[in-house]
Amino acid sequence: MAKRLALACMLLLSVVSCGYYEGVVQPTPRSYVTFIGNLEGAVAVIDGTITINIDEERLKTGEAGKAILFQVAPGRHKIIVTKTGREVVERVVIIADGATKEIQIP
């Protein structure tokens, strides 16, 4: 009888302990790009799909002196910045998870 009770307790413990890792949640990877320098009239295109009017975004937030973070997925990104139709910056950057990459605009 004691052996059966001990075996049942061990079986119950093994079943209960297996479910411990089922509730683990992985956070969504996030990386950021920010632009510094002469931002007046600047428009950024990230990977040819995301277009950001940097000057307009600064005015929307009401924080003209502060940097604005734009969230991107971690990895490799091609960033092109234009001002008045002229390309002023073209960079390929690799951004790690949780990192922020600053792009200097002349």
CB atoms within 10 A of CB 58: 19
- The answer to whether residues 101 and 32 touch, using CB atoms and an 8 Å cutoff, is yes
State the 10-residue block means of pLDDT for the chain, 106 residues long: 75 64 73 90 93 82 72 94 93 93 91
Domain containing 95: what range? Answer: 31-105
Q: Look at residue 8 in the predicted model and tell me its pLDDT.
A: 75
CATH number of the domain that 61 lies in?
2.60.40
Integer-rounded Cα Rg, in Å, for the chain is 25
Domains in the chain, number: 1
C-alpha 58: how far from its chain's center?
Answer: 20
Is residue 14 in some structural domain?
no
